[in-house]
Structure 1
Amino acid sequence: MSKADEPRKRPGRTRSAEPEAVRTLERGLIVLRVLGEQSAATLSEVARFAGLSASTTYRLLQTLRQQGFAHEEAGIWQVGIQTFVTGRAYAELDGLVATAKRQMESLVAETGETVNLAVLQAPDVMYVHQVEGRGLMRMFTQIGARSPLYCTGAGKALLAWRDKGDVADLVGAGPYPAFTERTLTSLAAYQAELAEVRQLGYALDNEEREDGVRCVAVPIYGAGGTVTAAMSLSAPASRLGDERVGELAATLQAAAREITVRLGGQRA
């Protein structure tokens, strides 16, 4: 047997401490990766490259097939259509960041404040890109970091144009943990806030996530008029007073409209 045909060795670790579900998930992902790398393979080939027994590999392949991530015909296994759907979602996210980046950089150059791009990852928002401001006190959110939907400007911008039932499903019935004394902790208060966001066309995080930090956020629309992302501007409350909110919101809205057009989206 050549080295190319030898079973792949996985990094060693103490398995006994891991929950069975985690081990099963890890093995399933290994099998899915093998399918992607091999394009087409028999059960025995998948098992060999995954370093698993044939019986375990077969059970994992059947589960992947049931969920659309694997396809079998005449004993040959390949990735399924759901793999394409998932990959397309990643490509769309990458396209969103690439499209928004120039507008975000222009916003920072114009305002001097930090601008973030976020998407829905219920029950949170996930920040997928950021351009830091030039101020002495910068607002930094790590790319990939998450924050609760109910206490962020981006979260409000993402949910304000959804049905009330959808909002309740996404954020939960409450009460929600308070991060500051201004945090909205009930579903009723949050729904009322979203109604105001729809009326204004922008959302405000009024020191609800962190004392001393305010945030203005606007929606970015995709195909069919659905909100696909949110763009927010964060700054210390001392630099983002009420007199500046409307002006910055209008600037953000203009940039968001340009991004929406470039994405081929439209407002409902």
Structure 2
Amino acid sequence: MEVPSEASSLAQGLRLVRLVADREKQGRQLLGVSQMAAELDMEQSRVSRLAQELCDLELLEREDRGPFRVGRRFFALAGSLNRNWVHESKAELEELVAGFGLRARLSVRDGVRVQLLRSSSNNAAFGGFARPGMVTPVWCTGAGRALLWDHDGGALESLLRDVNFIGVGGPAAAHAPAEVQALMERDKLAGYVLATEEYEHDVWELGVPVRSPRGEILAALSVLGSRSGAEPDIAVVADAVQAASKRLGSAQGQDY
């Protein structure tokens, strides 16, 4: 079926914005028209036209025909989308800290990667290295597997088909899509993900999905503890994290 030109232009424009935003976020060299065309395998003339339209909308910007960066309207749009449940997450993370003394995190998925949105204030006190924007694997972290909660075996196989599992994660990390599926089936019986030494030695992470009012997975809420410390009652922790995730999900559709 032929895709309407408007839909095609929208999809390609979003690819341009995504490319520029990702490179800026990662601190990589910013690109001009010819470089973006090569990166996305698109015609240079089309990239030039779409980029100009995005600049007119202030979603992208450039100075003196230099490289592109994200524009003012991009940040305004991101802020309007995130002001509710992401804003509310700060209080929820600190409540988990107060209740259990565990590190707490809010994360989202980007393909086979997990990106940290926010971490609790006690992270540094435990020698943690987590910072907003930090990236970890999706298949061997509590937050990551919580983000895969709705993936069936076929979807997991498709997502992880080209992943190099060797040398990634801790001693209990999965090394194949089938192993990830087995861990997911185990955790679904409990109602939450418990990843013990799957990413870091001596660390366990309990994660649950944060769902929108329509049931879509928005993010993952997780807490982390050490196996060498006093372990709390996991069932009690899981109940608290699940309750917090439901409050965050319900906040997604509210206006403040």
TM-score scaled to structure 2, two decimals?
0.68
Deviations 1:192-240 (A, max 9, x none): 1112232222111211111111111111001420111001101211236
Size of the alignment, in residue pairs? 208
1:181 CA displacement: 2.1
Kept in 2, the 8 Å contact 1:173–1:187? The answer is no
Kept in 1, the 8 Å contact 2:204–2:225? The answer is yes
1:3 corresponding residue in structure 2: none
- From 159, 162, 175, the counterpart of 1:185: 175
Kept in 2, the 8 Å contact 1:116–1:131? The answer is yes
Would you say 1:165 and 2:154 are equivalent positions? Answer: yes
Q: SS of the residue aligned with 1:224?
A: coil
Q: SS of the residue aligned with 1:184?
A: coil
Q: Output the amino acid matched with 2:178.
A: A
1:100 corresponding residue in structure 2: 89
Percent of aligned positions that are identical:
23
Kept in 1, the 8 Å contact 2:169–2:200? The answer is yes
1:62 corresponding residue in structure 2: 49
Would you say 1:224 and 2:214 are equivalent positions? Answer: yes
Kept in 1, the 8 Å contact 2:106–2:221? The answer is yes
**For the structure 1 residues 90 and 146, does the alpha-carbon distance in structure 2 shift closer, same or farther, using more than 3 Å as the test?**
farther
2:243 corresponding residue in structure 1: 254
**In 2, distance between residues paired with 1:167 and 1:90?**
31
Q: SS of the residue aligned with 2:157?
A: helix
TM-score scaled to structure 1, two decimals?
0.66
Greater Rg over alpha carbons, structure = 1
Q: SS of the residue aligned with 2:174?
A: coil
**In 2, distance between residues paired with 1:183 and 1:208?**
4
2:57 corresponding residue in structure 1: 79
**For the structure 1 residues 121 and 135, does the alpha-carbon distance in structure 2 shift closer, same or farther, using more than 3 Å as the test?**
closer
Runs of 5+ consecutive residues of structure 2 not aligned to the other structure: 1-28, 38-43, 61-70
After superposition, the CA RMSD in angstroms is: 3.4
Runs of 5+ consecutive residues of structure 1 not aligned to the other structure: 1-19, 29-56, 72-76
**In 1, distance between residues paired with 2:251 and 2:34?**
38
**For the structure 1 residues 118 and 21, does the alpha-carbon distance in structure 2 shift closer, same or farther, using more than 3 Å as the test?**
closer
**In 1, distance between residues paired with 2:238 and 2:129?**
20
**In 2, distance between residues paired with 1:160 and 1:103?**
21
